[in-house]
Amino acid sequence: MRTLETLLEQGVTGRRVLVRADLNVPLDGDRITDDGRIRGVLPTLTALRDAGAKLVVCAHLGRPKGAPDAKYSLAPVAVRLSELLGTTVGFATDTVGTDAERALSALGDGGVVLLENLRFNPGETSKDDAERLDFATKLAEGNDFYVDDAFGAVHRKHASVYDVATLLPHYAGKLITTEVSVLKRLTESPQRPYTVVLGGAKVSDKLAVIANLLDKVDRLLIGGGMMFTFLAAQGHDVGTSLLESDQIDTCKGFLDEAAKRGVELVLPSDTITAAQFSAEAEPETVAVDAIPSDRMGLDIGPETAARFAVEIGKSKTVFWNGPMGVFEFSAFADGTRTVARALVDSDAFTVVGGGDSAAAVRTLGLPEDGFGHISTGGGASLEYLEGKTLPGLSILESQ
């Protein structure tokens, strides 16, 4: 895989570089509530600017239906990117249309233009190869090089991720290089004991990664909404908690397979319940074999959180993906906070697997530099750990 450093060595002064960034940030109206993904691409953009390149940045936000939608505009991102880069970032109100042409024609050395949301164009996400390539050709036109630094999108075979790289000399940005290095460390040479902590809502979202990890890890800690399907597989009544009934047999299979392989699969012993899904709900801690039929579990309990912290403390490598509970509600945030704090206090190489886990770290006010690595791509990280081929990485590895 050719890296940004290789591109910089050959010189980019006055050359136009198309950078695919992951700027898919959460918005509250026009207010960005977490700018972590914007900050993630800054090292690549800064290096290219300092080398005198003309930067054309493209990205997506949300899931518009292949047409312009004001609530998914990248305009607020352009404002924040300007602040973080310390320079005015031009903004084109389209991607490959007349306003993009206007903005790019005025682009000088070291200048930056952000194009409007890629997904306003149906060709970006099309399943039709020809339609996708047609859009990629328009996107690539006039650019000398392509740099992909959108790790959060490399598992998608989209025009800006895959097809553009078939048209231009292509390079991996600093963020992607780092992410791949970390994931190789997790999959090829982890220091042991190796513990994986999985949470989040659904077992079905993580079936493949659990199956693939069972012959790689020493210990698997299960929390979040997904824990209730595992508990049901053990014969427990989980009340009104989130439950995927069609996955109970699969969870039974995982429990059996873990036992056969000598993997310690640790499930919660207690949970914090509520009568309804609400920030104002009165919390009650109960054992997992005593969940009332009219209550739902919204977090792991304190006994479980303490056990998980001990197991993390005994580990040399820890990968965490998915919150332990509804951390957005203060009464149900302690499980996630305890796990995250245990990672910070650990001497292990600790990796936070993006998405909601990264958001939890920031929401709960934990120091980001206390973790070995915080990934910007939850879905991409999981698919890599599943052993899948990621289109955005496979094309970067081609010459």
pLDDT one-digit tens code per residue, 165-205: 999 999 999 999 999 999 999 988 899 999 999 998 888 88
Based on the residue annotation, tell me whether 86 is a catalytic residue of this protein. Answer: no
pLDDT tens across 54-67, in order?
999 999 999 999 99
Annotated catalytic residue, options 173, 223, 355, 392 = 355
Does residue 164 register a pLDDT over 80?
yes
Q: What is the pLDDT of residue 128?
A: 97
Q: How confident is the model at residue 362 (pLDDT cuts 50, 70, 90)?
A: confident
Please report, in range form, the residues annotated as the binding site for substrate: 22-24, 37, 60-63, 119, 156
Q: How far apart are CA 146 and CA 62, in angstroms?
A: 23
Domain count across the chain: 2
Tell me which residue range forms the domain holding 39. Answer: 4-177
The model's pTM: 0.87
Whether 394 maps to a domain, the answer reads: no
Q: Name 139's Cβ contacts closer than 8 Å, sequence gap at least 6.
A: 18, 58, 95, 96, 118, 159, 160, 164
Binding positions for ATP: 206, 297, 328, 354-357
Give the DSSP per-residue string, 331-352: GG-HHHHHHHHHHHH-SSEEEE
Q: What's the confidence (pLDDT) of residue 50?
A: 97
pLDDT of residue 206: 85
The model's confidence at residue 386, banded by pLDDT at 50, 70 and 90, is confident
User: At residue 353, does pLDDT exceed 90?
Assistant: no
Please confirm, yes or no, whether 31 is among the known catalytic residues.
no
Check if the beta carbon of residue 50 is closer than 8 Å to that of residue 176.
no
| Residue 127 located in a structural domain | yes
Which residues are part of a known binding site? Answer: 22-24, 37, 60-63, 119, 156, 206, 297, 328, 354-357
Instruction: Report pLDDT for 340.
Output: 94
Shared domain check, 215 and 123: no
- 379 a catalytic residue: yes
Active site residue 29: no
Residues 267 and 359 in one domain: yes
Does a structural domain hold residue 276? yes
Q: Are residues 164 and 286 in the same domain?
A: no
User: Which pLDDT does position 378 carry in this prediction?
Assistant: 77
Asked whether residue 297 carries a pLDDT value surpassing 80, the answer given is: yes
| Size of the chain in residues | 399
Q: What is the pLDDT of residue 356?
A: 80
Q: Which one of the listed residues 202, 252, 307, 316 is annotated catalytic?
A: 202
Is the pLDDT confidence value at 354 over 80? Answer: no
Which residues belong to the annotated binding site for (2R)-3-phosphoglycerate?
Answer: 37, 119, 156
